[in-house]
Chains A and B, each alone.
Chain A
């Protein structure tokens, strides 16, 4: 059943990615086609996750590949909140190919067939893994927004004559959305980390992954302090968001190598 749902989800995400690329050349109907691809793909992936949850004994996404499947669903879900507006279609050009690729990787690594026989309790995994991944999904979107901000800023700064050809959201909108996304994602990550810390037994060693997670938390925490406290905006803020995302990528890779294993 899960396998049957995987392929339509991947197909819809792939279609959205291709249609977003086509929309850059010919804005209009292709953009709408892309938007429907995202919506349908996300709904099918939701059904896929439900099918996995029903079939599994415990939390079905406690493997690295399984968590990637959940992560893709969270990223696309967050993107769906405002990403389907015409002005944000350029963002879809970044998010949807990534979503399609990560979903394919998750499938190849067995994330769609996760059995869910876990040593951890379901409640702990839902709280810890679910919240941490939701936080990461938020940071991923914030990074995509920051990347789009830097691209748009460069176009305007260099007075490119094609600056109006590919209409992205305005600099102010992108900057404020990226900051708000981080402001939402950081508390979610904090809760996920708190759930993880609650499980650490007294006297056990801190692994490098925990240190990296705390560092990521500190970078984003510092970003929020500077952004909302000291009025940090513009390119500097975008670079810090991207630096934080580099740590998120490092964390995801480390998870594959250590934590889930």
Chain B
């Protein structure tokens, strides 16, 4: 049985092409069931890729079916087989094939595709190993630890100051989309939006209601600053909104200020105050850029993990191919041994029960010793050289003929 992968991704096709073959989970399940048809099939479809994994006896036929399902050559597709296909899936699950290396969403998408697919022993093993590889990469490397956007960097920095953000009070100055994004990142990590202030009261009220905070007038900024632990400012004001004199003595309580506005809202002098930490958009972008390069560095380590997993899969697949041949070989040897003993029955009549057992044991040992090295070599060769050696062994020992003789079909 061969594993075949046919698909397209953001690395090969523009979104206009990808959207032609993108399917939702329900349709992916139906497509997999239709393609399986006695074999195995899984359809993995995300916004960045649509891929079909098929297992069939005839790989050419499997490829043709998959290509047909993916627009019959109307868009550019990649085609991979066996170990290469496995390595590709492991890289996908590890987030190494994503726009942002190590992104976490893909692992859930691979799991959903696996659960919706029509899996047999090969795809079941492949996808379980892919999920394992994805988790392993994320636990053994720091690929997924660093933030990949300005808002997540701001939240990660707030965590470096406060640790757990549970109970952290956030003041939003300005109620635009940028504030909303930052607020979402902070609340996701446990912070609570205590107050929103904006020159547009309507928008402030909307955002405050959305995050369970209070909409407060601009004039109360100094009082709100005193209560806050984190301040996110992103107004479109041409002048500074948060000046140094508005920040009262913190008495050892840290204040983390995120200035996302251009021109800047927050007086840079605030950074010099004790217990105050101020980050503007440039600082945050520098942090994101550094953490992205960190992700790429970690990606190199992740590649070796996925390669190792692909090798394990190849060994497993090879052992699947070689097991029937080994079983036939043993069976044939045992048939010959017991047949020859039966022929010599008349000449062994004079032997005692104990002597008879010795002869039985002796012949079994000779057969086992003769077969040991060929079987070990066969397993090794199947893992490293593919199934060619298995075919040779079948030919040399007449295993195929045996099978044909027993099963004329």
Contact = CB atoms under 8 A, between A and B. Distances in A.
A201 interface: no
A157 B275 CA distance: 9
Contacts, number: 78
A156 B157 CA distance: 8
Interface string B258-274: 00000000000001001
Given A29-B140, A170-B162, A171-B160, A235 B289 contact: no
Interface string B123-159: 0000000000000000111100111000001001101
Given A165-B291, A171-B254, A156 B156 contact: no
Interface stretch (A42-50, A62-70, A226-234): A226-234
B301 interface: yes
A142 B379 CA distance: 58
Contact of A161 (B251, B254, B289): B289
A164 B162 contact: no
Interface string B240-268: 00000000000111100000000000000
A172 B142 contact: no
Contacts of A165: 146, 290-291, 294
A55 interface: no
B159 A161 contact: no
B206 interface: no
A171 B279 CA distance: 16
A152 B160 contact: yes
Interface of A is mostly: loop
A20 to B, nearest CB: 15
A161 B275 contact: no
A6 B145 CA distance: 38
A231 B249 CA distance: 13
Interface in A133-186: 152, 156-157, 159, 161-165, 167-173
Interface string A80-110: 0000000000000000000000000000000
Contact of B139 (A28, A164, A170): A28
Contacts of B274: 234-235
B181 interface: no
A235 B162 CA distance: 15
Contacts of B218: none
A172 B157 contact: no
A132 to B, nearest CB: 31
Interface in B200-245: none
15 contacts: A28-B139, A156-B160, A159-B271, A161-B289, A163-B160, A163-B287, A164-B145, A164-B147, A164-B160, A170-B160, A172-B162, A172-B254, A231-B252, A233-B253, A235-B274
Given A28-B301, A164-B290, 6 more contacts: A27-B145, A28-B139, A164-B291, A232-B252, A233-B252, A234-B254
Q: Which 6 A-B pairs have the closest CB atoms?
A: A233-B252, A170-B163, A161-B286, A161-B290, A159-B283, A27-B142
